[in-house]
Structure formats: structure tokens, C-alpha cells
């Protein structure tokens, strides 16, 4: 986990505990002002609770003495709760109100992270993924394989599968192998195909599934990524460098659409190489085919892409047109 997330979450827990302690003090003051007799009982409980361990340590103390004191404390606690309820308060009014009772707002149960810590981490991951608003609409629940025609497309004579069969194979790999084994695999994905063939949609689906499982996924278009790499290079932006380099999955959308310069080619290769060496996974989508990579980039970049990525070819008609056609048909009914 990127260190900044750990400190940010622990700071949030510290703020929560501070707020709830302040709230408790205000409740205690309210009871002290309105019903001082209840606080007198509470003060007596505290005095006896301090006395109990001292009594146990005394050599002359009998078991009966200890039980009598314990019973007295128990009776006073019951009396305090009855008094609170009789005045219209909840029995827990004079105790701290933890937002998470499992970990007492610390984030940890022993040495293990609490579920609430994981939830906070997921929210931070969503915030930094650049996908928070998008993924409410694009996920596996909305992935419609029926959009892909189950007949051979003459536009792709070299393909042995229909667009439907091809996407079924890709979908099955992602759902049954890639995502369930994400933390145990070193597979990088390269989605290649024309615009509107489902590359970006499937990327969103993968991002949401992994974010919901607690992984840090960062999505950037190729153009955005080059601007970020420039910021890192010229402004020494360490936070961005850490995020882009160490995220669990970096999704680069529309590779090849960015303005190609010597700077962009060099910085992209350096990032590619660094992430491959660190074992940090990537998913790249592009309209380019393998033969175009050499022309668009240099040989060493195309070599890294072809040699270290699982190449997945997307081919069908523009799905956006088909979805619009279906929507128009439904509206006419």
C-alpha cells in the first residue's frame, strides 16, 4: 500500500476519536448540569473501580470482600442506567460512541485491519483512480455480450472467431482468471481494436471490480499520462510519481492518440520499463495493431509491449451505433 494512504486513513481515525471524545464531554456536561445526581453515581462507580484492583492486591483481602465490591459496582451501574432511561436518555449516553464498535475507531483489531479500514482505503482508491463518477454506469452488470454479432465479419477475414465468440473468450478470461488471480499474476493486458469495439468499457469493468476488492487502480488517457510524466520530470512531483508507479493497476487508454515527441517516447518507455521491473501491472488500450507500434514508437518500446503484454484483439462494428439503434427501437415502441 502507498504510504500516503496509510497516514491519511490513520489521521481520519484520529479525527473521529477526537470528535467523539468532544461529544462525550458535552454529554457529560449536559447530565452534570441537568441531573447532577446521575453524575454522583457515575463518580462513585469510578472511585470503586479504582479501589477494586487495589483491594485484590492486598494480602488480607478475602474472596468475599472482592465479590461484595464487584456487586456494589454492578448495582451502581444498573442504577445509573435506570436513572438515564427514566430521564429519557439512552443507556449508552455517558459512554463514547464508536462509529465502528469492532475496532473502537482505530482501524485495527489486534494487528489485523478492520473492515472499516478497508472501506476507507477503497474510497481513497476510487478518489485517485480518476474513475469515481464513471464507474457507477460502466461495470460488469451492464456488460452486454449480445451487442457483438455472432457471425463472421468479412471486414476481418483473418479472424477465426465471430466477434461474439472472440469477446466471450476475452470476457471469460477476465472474469474467471485475471480478476480472481490478480494478486498472484504478472499478466499485463493490451487491448487492440478500432474505436467503439468495447475496449474502454471492459477496462472500466475491470477497474471497478478491482477497486471494489481493495486494489488501487489508476486510469489515465495516454494524453493525460504524458502531461503527468512531464509534471513528474520538470516539477519533481513525487506524489504523482508514487501514484503512477506503485498503483496496483495502471490503465492507459487510447495509446497512440497522444502527441508523439522524443520526450513522450522516452518518458513512456521509462515508465513502462520501471513498472515491468517492479512487477506493477498495466492495462493498455489502443486503436493501433501490433505492426503499427514500431511505426508510432521505437523498437524497444514496441518490444516491451509485444513481449510483456497479453495481446487481445477487439473486432466488431461500432458498438455505440448499435446501442443507439437499440435505444431508438425501444423508444419507438
pLDDT (tens digit per residue) in 275-288: 999 999 999 999 98
Q: Measured between alpha carbons, how far is 235 from 223 in angstroms, rounded to an integer?
A: 18
What is the band of 331 on the pLDDT scale with cuts at 50, 70, 90? low
DSSP string, 63-99: HHHHHHHHHHHHHHHHHHHHHHHHTT--TTTTS---S
Q: At what angle do helices 238-246 and 222-235 cross, to 10 degrees?
A: 140
- Say whether pLDDT at 155 is over 80: no
Q: Looking at residue 315, what is its pLDDT?
A: 87
**What are the residue boundaries of the structural domains of the chain, listed by start?**
3-109, 130-328
What is the band of 159 on the pLDDT scale with cuts at 50, 70, 90? confident
Q: Measured between alpha carbons, how far is 62 from 3 in angstroms, rounded to an integer?
A: 53
- Say whether pLDDT at 323 is over 70: no
Q: Looking at residue 156, what is its pLDDT?
A: 67
Q: What is the pTM of this model?
A: 0.72
DSSP string, 8-25: HHHHHHHHHHHHHHHHHH
Q: Are 183 and 210 in contact (CB under 8 A)?
A: no
CA quadruple 205, 211, 214, 217: dihedral positive or negative? positive
Q: Measured between alpha carbons, how far is 247 from 1 in angstroms, rounded to an integer?
A: 8
More confident residue, 237 or 258: 258
Instruction: Count Cβ atoms below 10 Å from residue 30 Cβ, excluding itself.
Output: 13
Q: What is the largest CA-CA distance in the chain?
A: 98
Q: Looking at residue 298, what is its pLDDT?
A: 84
Q: Indicate the SS3 state at residue 219.
A: strand
From 114, 290, 70, select the one nearest 193 (Cα to Cα): 290
Range 68-74 average pLDDT: 93
Range 289-317 average pLDDT: 88
Q: Are 245 and 274 in contact (CB under 8 A)?
A: yes
Strand-pair partners of 217: 249
More confident residue, 326 or 280: 280
Q: Are 187 and 307 in contact (CB under 8 A)?
A: no
What is the band of 266 on the pLDDT scale with cuts at 50, 70, 90? very high
Determine whether 54 is exposed, middle or buried from the number of CB atoms within 10 Å of its CB (0-12, 13-18, 19+): exposed
Q: Looking at residue 262, what is its pLDDT?
A: 92
Q: Looking at residue 329, what is its pLDDT?
A: 59
Lowest mean pLDDT of 17-21, 124-128, 209-213, 269-273, name the range: 124-128
pLDDT (tens digit per residue) in 185-213: 999 999 999 888 899 999 999 999 999 99
- Say whether pLDDT at 113 is over 90: no
Q: Looking at residue 157, what is its pLDDT?
A: 66
Range 84-95 average pLDDT: 94
Architecture of domain 130-328: 3-Layer(aba) Sandwich (3.40)
Strand-pair partners of 255: 286
What is the band of 240 on the pLDDT scale with cuts at 50, 70, 90? confident
Q: Looking at residue 253, what is its pLDDT?
A: 94
Q: Looking at residue 199, what is its pLDDT?
A: 93
pLDDT (tens digit per residue) in 20-61: 999 999 999 999 999 999 999 999 999 999 999 988 888 888
What is the band of 326 on the pLDDT scale with cuts at 50, 70, 90? low
Q: Measured between alpha carbons, how far is 83 from 90 in angstroms, rounded to an integer?
A: 10
Amino acid at each position: 500500500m502507498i504510504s500516503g494512504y496509510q497516514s491519511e486513513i490513520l489521521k481520519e481515525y484520529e479525527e473521529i476519536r477526537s470528535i467523539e471524545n468532544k461529544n462525550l464531554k458535552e454529554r457529560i456536561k449536559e447530565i452534570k448540569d441537568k441531573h447532577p445526581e446521575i453524575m454522583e453515581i457515575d463518580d462513585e462507580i469510578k472511585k470503586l473501580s479504582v479501589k477494586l484492583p487495589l483491594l485484590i492486591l492486598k494480602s488480607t483481602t478475602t474472596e468475599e470482600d472482592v465479590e461484595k465490591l464487584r456487586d456494589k459496582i454492578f448495582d451502581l451501574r444498573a442504577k445509573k442506567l435506570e436513572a438515564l432511561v427514566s430521564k429519557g436518555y439512552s443507556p449508552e449516553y455517558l459512554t463514547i460512541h464508536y462509529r465502528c464498535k469492532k475496532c473502537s475507531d482505530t482501524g485495527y483489531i489486534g494487528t489485523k485491519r478492520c473492515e472499516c479500514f478497508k472501506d476507507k482505503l477503497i474510497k481513497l482508491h476510487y478518489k485517485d483512480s480518476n474513475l469515481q463518477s464513471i464507474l457507477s454506469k460502466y461495470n460488469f452488470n451492464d456488460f452486454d455480450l449480445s451487442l457483438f454479432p455472432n457471425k463472421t465479419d468479412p471486414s476481418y477475414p483473418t479472424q477465426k472467431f465471430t466477434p461474439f465468440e472472440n469477446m466471450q473468450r476475452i470476457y471469460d478470461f477476465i472474469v474467471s482468471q485475471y480478476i480472481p488471480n490478480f494478486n498472484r499474476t504478472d499478466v499485463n493486458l493490451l487491448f487492440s481494436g478500432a474505436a467503439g469495439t468495447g475496449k474502454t468499457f471492459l477496462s472500466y469493468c475491470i477497474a471497478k471490480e478491482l477497486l471494489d476488492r481493495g486494489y488501487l487502480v489508476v486510469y489515465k488517457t495516454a494524453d493525460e499520462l504524458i502531461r503527468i510524466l512531464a509534471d513528474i520530470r520538470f516539477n519533481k512531483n513525487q506524489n504523482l510519481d508514487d501514484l503512477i508507479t506503485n498503483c496496483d493497476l495502471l490503465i492507459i487508454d487510447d495509446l497512440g492518440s497522444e502527441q508523439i515527441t522524443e520526450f513522450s517516447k522516452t518518458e513512456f518507455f521509462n515508465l513502462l520499463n520501471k513498472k515491468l521491473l517492479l512487477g506493477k501491472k498495466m492495462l493498455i488500450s489502443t486503436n493501433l495493431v501490433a505492426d503499427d507500434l514500431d511505426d508510432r514508437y521505437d523498437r524497444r518500446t514496441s518490444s516491451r509491449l509485444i513481449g510483456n503484454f497479453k495481446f487481445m484483439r477487439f473486432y466488431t462494428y461500432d458498438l455505440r451505433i448499435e446501442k443507439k439503434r437499440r435505444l431508438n427501437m425501444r423508444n419507438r415502441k
